[in-house]
Amino acid sequence: MTRVTYASPADDEAASSRFRVCFVCSGNICRSPMAEVVFRDLAEKAGIGDRVVSSSAGTGDWHVGEPADRRAIMALHRRGYDGATHRARQFEPEWFDEQDLVVALDHSHRRILDHWAGTSENRAKIAMLMDFAPHGGASRDVPDPYYSDDAMFDTVLDLIERACAGLVRQLEPALKHEPRRQPRTHTAS
């Protein structure tokens, strides 16, 4: 299993040549950190771990700097993942420039991200996580387990694993055969 780190992809020079995915939920302590960890692990197992960078953030700032919820860490741990080093962050609109894909965990996150996107190019980078789940589902939303029990965190992790597996399957053919992307260059304004 890959050791998870949570630095911003914008801070990683090497990240600019990799496909960048940011998972977004409300406070960045439950759903999005679980998605980040699961996606990274599945990408590594699929042989594309060196071609992707995953991160996560929240739409709100009330948990910035805090670790993931203990129940999220425990749900991940029960399945062999490590989310212990996570620290919550709030998504910043300028991050769209650094991302190839911004994945919303529910419709409320999608609405906020659409508003923050500012351009049609940035809006085109936004997707719903459950849209990647094979055979769809009753809902496109991953439910928020924060006010629930440990069992709900396991249920949410089931959904996240299924959807992240679909996302990796979709990216895998292109990333395995794609030549290394050139790092992006940024000009100061």
Catalytic residue among 12, 82, 144, 154: 144
Amino acid at 17: S
In a domain, 184, yes or no: no
The CATH number of residue 26's host domain is 3.40.50.2300
In a domain, 104, yes or no: yes
Report the SS3 class of residue 74: helix
Which residues 6+ apart lie within 8 Å of 138 measured at CB? none
Q: Output the average pLDDT for the chain.
A: 88
Catalytic residue among 18, 20, 31, 89: 31
- Residue-wise over 21-37: b if at least 16 C-beta within 10 A, else e? bbbbbbbbbbbbbbbbb
In a domain, 185, yes or no: no
Instruction: Output the pLDDT for position 186.
Output: 40
In a domain, 178, yes or no: no
Is 144 among the catalytic positions? yes
Question: DSSP assignment of 103-118, as one string?
Answer: EESSHHHHHHHHHHH-
pTM: 0.87
Residue 183 has pLDDT above 50, yes or no: no
Is 25 among the catalytic positions? yes
In a domain, 124, yes or no: yes
Report the SS3 class of residue 142: coil
Look at 6-10, 71-75, 170-174 and tell me which has the smallest mean pLDDT.
Answer: 6-10
Report the SS3 class of residue 165: helix
In a domain, 23, yes or no: yes
Burial of 55 (0-12, 13-18, 19+ CB in 10 A): buried
Cβ neighbours around 77 below 10 Å, total: 12
Residue 175 has pLDDT above 70, yes or no: yes
Catalytic residue among 25, 40, 69, 71: 25
In a domain, 34, yes or no: yes
What's the chain's Rg over C-alpha atoms? 15
Is 22 among the catalytic positions? no
Amino acid at 121: E
Range of the domain at 74: 9-173
The overall longest dimension of the chain from CA atoms, in Å, is: 49
Total domains present in the chain:
1
Instruction: Output the pLDDT for position 181.
Output: 53
In this structure, the strands spanning 52-58 and 101-104 are unpaired
In a domain, 180, yes or no: no
